[in-house]
Amino acid sequence: MIIDPTAFNKYNIGMTENKYSLVRSFLQRKLKKKIRLSTSRSRNFIISVENQKEVMLIKIHSQFLKAPFAVLDKLVEYIQTKNKNVENELKKFIYKIPQPKKKKTPVRVEKISHIGKVYNLKVLFDMLNERYFDNSVTANITWGRTSNSKPKRSIRFGSYEEVKDIIRINPELDKSSVPKFFLGYVIYHEMLHCKLGFIKNDGKKNEIHTKKFKELEKQYFAFNKSQEWEKQNKERFFSNNSGAGT
Ligand SMILES: [Zn+2]
């Protein structure tokens, strides 16, 4: 039997407060035993059963409270047989239920503009690409949008968006007071992200600036000078901030 994950919509087995007792009495009837029922929302969890003398302790994924009787029958079958196929059907029910749709964010059409008032990003990008990457970096590069948001306590000079393969540079850097070596450093940093990608670390937080990344970053000809310049000049960007990235 194939369980239609959307089927539960057709079988509203009770109002919110009744679902729990409905499922419990259903299981009790079918299993002919006193049931103590609890629920869990943990990831990958389906069901756990502890059969005691007087009572059967059953913990089920809370989605089962919305399940049609056909699914609850499967639940009973699984409790009785521990059959793998049945377990898989239950998993399908729990984890393929259509999730409530996220609000769509309007797609903004992005203009690629590498020519600024002072700096042409593409020229710098191409120079760096040749010098450090054998022209292998594929990303597009653009000045980011200026934002009118409130002053912030931190600033991101550049970002790399992997999906769109695009490097954005904070337009605050498009000033003659910003030395070329520093802008180059920001671009180089983002090019490294493009080159190395974002490494997933066992599903934990993505590791962004790996050891390898940091080693390669130091190869930039003005690495120390750029770090120093950033330290000395960072504050002046804070009052008039824009851009985002890593
Ligand atoms: Zn970074």
**Model pLDDT, residue 142:** 96
For 123-159, how does the pLDDT look when each residue is reduced to its tens digit (9 = 90+)?
999 999 999 999 999 999 999 987 666 666 677 899 9
* DSSP helix, strand, coil percent of the chain (3-state; round to 5): 40, 15, 45
Residues with CB under 5 A from ligand 1 (ion): 246
In which residue are the tokens 């590069």 written? 141
Distances (CA, A) of 31 to 20, 23, 46, 112: 16, 12, 18, 65
**Model pLDDT, residue 148:** 63
| CA Rg value for the chain | 28
pTM across the whole model: 0.53
Question: Are 35 and 52 in contact, with CB atoms under 8 Å apart?
Answer: no
Q: What are phi and psi of 126, to 5 degrees?
A: -65, -40
Query: Which tokens go with 59?
Result: 């913990």
Question: Are 236 and 173 in contact, with CB atoms under 8 Å apart?
Answer: no
- State the DSSP string of 88-129: HHHHHHHHSSPPPPPPPPPPPPPP---B-SS-BHHHHHHHHH
Distance CA(210)–CA(218), nearest Å, equals: 13
**Model pLDDT, residue 201:** 57
CA of 166 to the centre of ligand 1 (A): 14
**Model pLDDT, residue 76:** 92
CA of 190 to the centre of ligand 1 (A): 6
Distance CA(148)–CA(159), nearest Å, equals: 18
Q: In the chain, count of helices (H) and strands (E)?
A: 8, 6
Share of the chain above pLDDT 70, in %: 77
CA of 214 to the centre of ligand 1 (A): 10
CA of 185 to the centre of ligand 1 (A): 11
**Model pLDDT, residue 1:** 47
Tell me which residues of the chain have a pLDDT lower than 50.
1, 3, 5-16, 240-246
Contacts for 117 with CB less than 8 Å, ≥ 6 apart: 174, 175
CA of 157 to the centre of ligand 1 (A): 10
Domains and CATH numbers, the chain: 7-95 (3.30.160), 121-238 (3.30.2010.10)
Q: Is 126 exposed, middle or buried (0-12, 13-18, 19+ CB in 10 A)?
A: middle
**Model pLDDT, residue 155:** 77
Question: Are 6 and 98 in contact, with CB atoms under 8 Å apart?
Answer: yes
CA of 208 to the centre of ligand 1 (A): 6
3-state secondary structure at position 154: coil
